Every structure is written in structure tokens, then in C-alpha cells.
């Protein structure tokens, strides 16, 4: 690893950092880290939960809110969400009466993945073999749904502060026939970088972070975790494979084992940072699945972006996962995206380098 002097200006003066994945900027204000806090304080999660909760609609054998009873599953369990945000047979949207009053048809499906039959575990607390089962389910769901839908979004909301309505360890998979805003921006940016440089943007970025080391949190033979240079959330991280990979199903057995290992190490560091079960939203971004029916957003810099004729043209993509944890100062104080963030652009106080250094200090 090469040691580079980090510009002092970026450690104590306000500046903007560019996100090459989205083409957007984040305002960094490191001089604000000493300001006092008299705002909202969150209630920390309970210290313990039972291994089985008879009132939990995700525990084995229990009846769900929609009336269906879960099987007595032993490991992972996947089912179609009883209150799905997307429907495979959604009615066609009416013709727009004005370009200012547009609506578009969207069809899809939503599934829930119970990571474990144990109500009292999180991914960080699960064994490596059980985490590997979750990784395999993520890959299998992506491969299956990618045969029908052009975008498959695997994600997890952990903790009540991130909107999770149930503490049972679980994630979700939403699949739809349109390319959502965030991956559409990433598609444009990665494609432009590929055309200019002939290499995947995130593979070059991973190599740069391995060389510099100042934002590196975890690394193993096949993966690395960094606090990205352009991070918005206080302890945001980016999880990257070290070779060119398009989608979760493309991972080898060794890469899936290594992914299980680095996930456990990262999530343990998170939990140890403020000595709490760390809340976050995380999700995977991989190359879209090319389909004739795939709709692409037609606004701003995406106006001329068209769906590709075949899967080989997505070589500019690199698989990656985003982790967005909200906690800022402690287990009870979170970052709020309000005011300037909602009306101007994202802003953060803690620099990416400071956040990475604090995560590296945690015992895993």
C-alpha cells in the first residue's frame, strides 16, 4: 500500500466532493464536527430479543399479517410480500393529458427474505455458513427475477430508525420492468467512463483505494470495503469485488465465501462503533438485465439513454453494495437529511477519511 499525504485543506475546510457514480456533489463541512447537539435523540434498540417470538409474522410457523402461515423453515425463507409495492399485472397508466402530468405503467414483484429462523439474530451475529446461505439466496433471486424484469433490487433495512417494521432478520427483493433513478444515473456514469478509459469505473476506483489506504475499512482476497471519497452518510461504506463482476449470480464459490466473511467483519465493526446493533439501509447494484420491455427514465442527462440490445453491452458495470447507516455521534443521535440537503445538495460534517479511521479502530 502506497502512503499519500492527504491535503490538509480537506480535513478542516468546507469543500465539495464529486461522486463519479452519479455525477453529483456532496458538501463536506469538517469544521462543524464540534458543534453541540440539542436535537432529537433516538431510543436505542432493546438489549435482547427471544429466539422465537409468537407475535412475529416472520418467525417459523407463525401466521403473517396477510393471513398466510409460514412453514417451519430451518435456514433462509423467501416469500412474495403480502403487501407488495409492485404488482406483475398492474393496469396500464392512462394517456397523459399534459407533459406536466405524466404517469407511466410499472410492473414488478416484491419478495421478503428471512435470513434466519432465529428472531434474535442479525447478519453480524450469524455464522459464516448461514451468511453464505443468504448470499446464495441473493444470487438465486437475482438470477430468477432477471429473466422477467430488467432491474432486481436486493436490499435490507435494519433497525426501526431506518423504517424496518419488524426486528426479525430479513431483507427484500424488488424487481421491476423499469430502470430506477439511482441505477440509471450509475449506468450513464459507468458507461461514459468505460467509453473514455476502456475499464470499469469502480474497478479502477477499488485499485486506487487499495493503493492509498486512507479510506479502506476491510479487505480480503476477493473483496474490499471503503468509506467512499464522496460518502454522504456519516459512516457510509461501499463494498466492491476485486475483479470485474457484473451481477451477484456471477460470483464464484470462493468469492461468495469471502463475501460472507467480509460482511460479518464489516457489520461487526458497525455494531462495535457505538456499542449498539447498528441500523442501516444496504443494497446491491449490479448490471441491469436486458429486456425488450425495459423502460429507462427520460429526464435530465438520461434523455438519450436507451436500453441495450444484449447483455454483453453492460460490460461497463461493476457489481457493488452500498451501506447507508444514519448514526452520527452515538447510538442515539442520527444524521438528518433536511434543509440544505433537501433543497440544495447532500452535506456531511465528518470526512470520509475520519469515518474510515474510526471504523478501522473497532474490534471485529
Active site residues: 170
**Distance from chain centroid for Cα 270:** 15
Query: What secondary structure letter does DSSP report for 26?
Result: E
- In the numeric block, which cell numbers belong to residue 201? 469505473
- In the numeric block, which cell numbers belong to residue 222? 476477493
CB 267 within 8 A of CB 124: yes
Instruction: Please classify residue 104 by burial: count the beta carbons closer than 10 Å to its beta carbon, then call 0-12 exposed, 13-18 middle and 19+ buried.
Output: exposed
**Distance from chain centroid for Cα 67:** 30
CB 55 within 8 A of CB 96: no
Distance, in Å, from the CA atom of 332 to the CA atom of 37, rounded to the nearest integer, reads 11
- In the numeric block, which cell numbers belong to residue 234? 456519516
How far is residue 213 from each of residues 206, 221, 298, measured CA to CA in Å? Answer: 10, 16, 38
Opening angle at CA 176, ends 172 and 180, nearest 5 = 90
Q: 27 in helix, strand or coil? A: strand
Amino acid at each position: 500500500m502506497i502512503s499519500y499525504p492527504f491535503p490538509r485543506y480537506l480535513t478542516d475546510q468546507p469543500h465539495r466532493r464529486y461522486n463519479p457514480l452519479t455525477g453529483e456533489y456532496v458538501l463536506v463541512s469538517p469544521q462543524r464536527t464540534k458543534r453541540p447537539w440539542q436535537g432529537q435523540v433516538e431510543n436505542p434498540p432493546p438489549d435482547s430479543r427471544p429466539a422465537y417470538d409468537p407475535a412475529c409474522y416472520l418467525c417459523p410457523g407463525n401466521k403473517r399479517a396477510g393471513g398466510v402461515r409460514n412453514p417451519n423453515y430451518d435456514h433462509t425463507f423467501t416469500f412474495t410480500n403480502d403487501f407488495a409495492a409492485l404488482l406483475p399485472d398492474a393496469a396500464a397508466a392512462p394517456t397523459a393529458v399534459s407533459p406536466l402530468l405524466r404517469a407511466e405503467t410499472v410492473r414488478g414483484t416484491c419478495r421478503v427474505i428471512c435470513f434466519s429462523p432465529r428472531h434474535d439474530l442479525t447478519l453480524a451475529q450469524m455464522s459464516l455458513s448461514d451468511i453464505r446461505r443468504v448470499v446464495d439466496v441473493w444470487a438465486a433471486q437475482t438470477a430468477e427475477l432477471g429473466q422477467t424484469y430488467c432491474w432486481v433490487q436486493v436490499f435490507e433495512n435494519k433497525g426501526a430508525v431506518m423504517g424496518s417494521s419488524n426486528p426479525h432478520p430479513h431483507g427484500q427483493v424488488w424487481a421491476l420492468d423499469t430502470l430506477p433513478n439511482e441505477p440509471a444515473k450509475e449506468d450513464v456514469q459507468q458507461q461514459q467512463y468505460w467509453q473514455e478509459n476502456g475499464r470499469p469505473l469502480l474497478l479502477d476506483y477499488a485499485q486506487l483505494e487499495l493503493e492509498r489506504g486512507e479510506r479502506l475499512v476491510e479487505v480480503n482476497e476477493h473483496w474490499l470495503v471503503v468509506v467512499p471519497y464522496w460518502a454522504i452518510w456519516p459512516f457510509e461504506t461501499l463494498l466492491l469485488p476485486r475483479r470485474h463482476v457484473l451481477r451477484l449470480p456471477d460470483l464464484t464459490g470462493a468469492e461468495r465465501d469471502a463475501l460472507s466473511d467480509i460482511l460479518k467483519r464489516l457489520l461487526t465493526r458497525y455494531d462495535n462503533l457505538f456499542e449498539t446493533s447498528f441500523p442501516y439501509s444496504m443494497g446491491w447494484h449490479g448490471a441491469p438485465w436486458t429486456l425488450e420491455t425495459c423502460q429507462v427514465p427520460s429526464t435530465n442527462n438520461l434523455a438519450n439513454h436507451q436500453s441495450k440490445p444484449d447483455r454483453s453491452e453492460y460490460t461497463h458495470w461493476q457489481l457493488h453494495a452500498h451501506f447507508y447507516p444514519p448514526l452520527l455521534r452515538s447510538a442515539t443521535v442520527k444524521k438528518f437529511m433536511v434543509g440544505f440537503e433537501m433543497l440544495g445538495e447532500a452535506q456531511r460534517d465528518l470526512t470520509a477519511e475520519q469515518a474510515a479511521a474510526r471504523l478501522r479502530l473497532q474490534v471485529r
